[in-house]
Structure 1
């Protein structure tokens, strides 16, 4: 993964004084999909940081770029383990909490999802307060807002747009609960050596739309599944349901800018949530996938999906079979059918105003990087 190219002069987020020079940073879930993008971007954009700790269940040195100069410390640990979290966070300046169990297909139990996403977040907040960490940047999700299963559209909305959020599945419910914990912790007392009476914790929550990019497991599964079907993918979602998708590198960049702002201008961002999107085309979910999978050799079958009653029947059948048969969970479930059929897109003007967010990677560059990875899959 080569160094990123900025899309415009303002993309640098300010001068080096606004960076994270001399700081100790922690990325939870740093070997996961988004976490690995964030780790690489931090090492590329913040060459003078003191130490970067990567907390993950399965630390992988192969994910680190060459020449990181010994600034990275891989830490094996589970965010559900309060002791491991506390040790990893102790004395850090910024924690990026990206660890999450992402499952909207029913492959994980509600208890497992809550343990990682809710209890894990509680452990991170406690670790920040006990370990003297002044800044916590949380990777939330658009799904704390929607799409809801009722099908209410949310077209190019922002953080103040009213929307009837309805959390019927464990994953979006867990992310909403975790985000609430993070935002409520803003201003909490933090024990520090410099200030025995305690400093104050600054928390920020970022809500990416559907993320894509290198090492995205769902894109990989779609590509390999399509190849097994002779290069075809059946259309199962309506082509008119506009969705916003965001490149992982731009999500990582928003994390960096939010951390800089939280250190320098905490009153501007503390306790706030921000949608995260970039310049990627607004399109129906499967049509956007085709922009990436098409050049990799797959074709989408059909201009319109099968009748809705048939899809709903297949979705329920897939869930039932998934409970008794081995293998990965089915991609088509009643929840994914409802979400993929509901228009949902966002704007990022709040992040632009609050800390100067602009996408670091333009759409053409994000697509090129993702395509290169897809074409390299066996």
Structure 2
């Protein structure tokens, strides 16, 4: 059943339900937004975007396990930024943060596809933490909940089936074995199923989920890790993936902007937004992970060697399996979790691109940053990182 068909269920928050919403079409001014995981890569961009480009916001609460004091300095005469230290896996911490909030953007997530974190910890944060957020919204009457999901709830799947220019309704066999995509899929399902939950007083919970493809941008931890790994090989990287393998990438500023827009529209038109999922997209080019990363890394003198894969796929597969075996054997003694493993190889080797205008149709989304500006901002950040490293030698 497609997402559009699912909206015909007649539950509260859908056009077919016929139930009036007392404040339909009236967005409150002076609202309180809560961003879980607000000090993370995406979270920090979300906080800045809310302060700078959401005029109805009076307070942005930043909830995280580790706080960044610099975000607290973003407050203005009109917008207060409040840092809240807390654990997403603690119902008490989450409830205290949600109480009094009008909108929750649930971006807190433990991202791990390398085996660096125990599976039970991933479940605790991504699944149980999401349940805590939903429960807190219901308990305290917070009506609007946006979940930052991931393309990996869809794929690439473990079979390596390509997803070429797909959209939110494309048929795809989403098969997963790894804890991270499994946890994100379960959490997204919980959020969408919570849409329409009664809150009392003729109000109900309105939820939606945004699925970014591979995010990039300033302070991207994985891009910095690629940079540091490349320094070890003299800024020379060997091509391992065919040029024909394409992936969708999206700039972090555009992902944040999409959250701001959907937060506005779900209050104006809950019937259209409630229970929906949206891929995040922009004008970033479809390329292999290696070729896209070189769009950024080349600015710091990195070179990608080979027009075709230099390392045969069968050998990469053997190395990935060996890395996975070593990780399991060494786990009792220390953490060994290299970037290459069977899952990351499958993802990098499988085409996954989206082509959709659903976000534009439902809430007027247009990328705030062009590809050229997105690239320039990311390059400037990485060049600063590189300059600081050179200065510190």
TM-score w.r.t. the length of structure 2 is 0.88
Q: Residue 290 of structure 1 corresponds to which residue in structure 2?
A: 294
Counterparts of 1:140-219 in structure 2, within 5 Å, are: 140-191=149-200, 195=201, 199-219=203-223
Which residue, 56, 74, 84 being the options, matches 2:83? 74
Indicate how the Cα distance of structure 1 residues 18 and 348 shifts in structure 2: closer, same or farther if over 3 A, else same.
farther
Q: Structure 1 CA distance, aligned partners of 2:294 and 2:270? A: 41
Q: Residue 92 of structure 2 corresponds to which residue in structure 1?
A: 83
Which residue, 236, 249, 253 being the options, matches 1:249? 253
Which residue, 280, 283, 306 being the options, matches 1:302? 306
- Displacement of 1:233 in angstroms is 1.8
SS in structure 2 opposite 1:376?
A: helix
Q: Residue 279 of structure 1 corresponds to which residue in structure 2?
A: 283
Q: 1:40, 1:64 within 8 Å by CA — same for their partners in 2? A: no
Q: 1:40, 1:65 within 8 Å by CA — same for their partners in 2? A: no
Q: Residue 358 of structure 1 corresponds to which residue in structure 2?
A: 366
Indicate how the Cα distance of structure 1 residues 288 and 234 shifts in structure 2: closer, same or farther if over 3 A, else same.
same
Q: 2:273, 2:362 within 8 Å by CA — same for their partners in 1? A: yes
**Structure 2 residues not aligned, in runs of 5+:** 1-24
Counterparts of 1:1-378 in structure 2, within 5 Å, are: 21-64=29-72, 66-69=74-77, 71-191=80-200, 195=201, 199-305=203-309, 306-323=311-328, 324=330, 326=334, 329-377=337-385, 378=389
Q: Structure 1 CA distance, aligned partners of 2:199 and 2:255? A: 27
Indicate how the Cα distance of structure 1 residues 203 and 19 shifts in structure 2: closer, same or farther if over 3 A, else same.
same
SS in structure 2 opposite 1:24?
A: strand
Q: Structure 1 CA distance, aligned partners of 2:236 and 2:140? A: 52
Q: Structure 2 CA distance, aligned partners of 1:199 and 1:19? A: 14
- The 10-residue stretch of structure 1 (199-208 or 70-79) with the greater mean CA deviation from structure 2: 70-79
SS in structure 2 opposite 1:164?
A: coil
TM-score w.r.t. the length of structure 1 is 0.91
RMSD (CA atoms): 1.6
Q: Structure 2 CA distance, aligned partners of 1:51 and 1:287? A: 40
Q: 2:86, 2:94 within 8 Å by CA — same for their partners in 1? A: yes
SS in structure 2 opposite 1:237?
A: coil
- Displacement of 1:327 in angstroms is 5.6
- Displacement of 1:275 in angstroms is 0.7
Q: Structure 2 CA distance, aligned partners of 1:43 and 1:254? A: 15
Q: Structure 2 CA distance, aligned partners of 1:204 and 1:249? A: 19
- Displacement of 1:215 in angstroms is 1.0
SS in structure 1 opposite 2:299?
A: coil
Q: Structure 1 CA distance, aligned partners of 2:240 and 2:168? A: 30
SS in structure 2 opposite 1:108?
A: coil
- Displacement of 1:225 in angstroms is 1.4
Kindly provide the CA deviation profile for residues 321-376 of structure 1, in whole angstroms up to 9, marking residues without a partner as x. 33427466211110011111111101231111000111001011111110111011
**Structure 1 residues not aligned, in runs of 5+:** 1-16
Indicate how the Cα distance of structure 1 residues 20 and 52 shifts in structure 2: closer, same or farther if over 3 A, else same.
farther
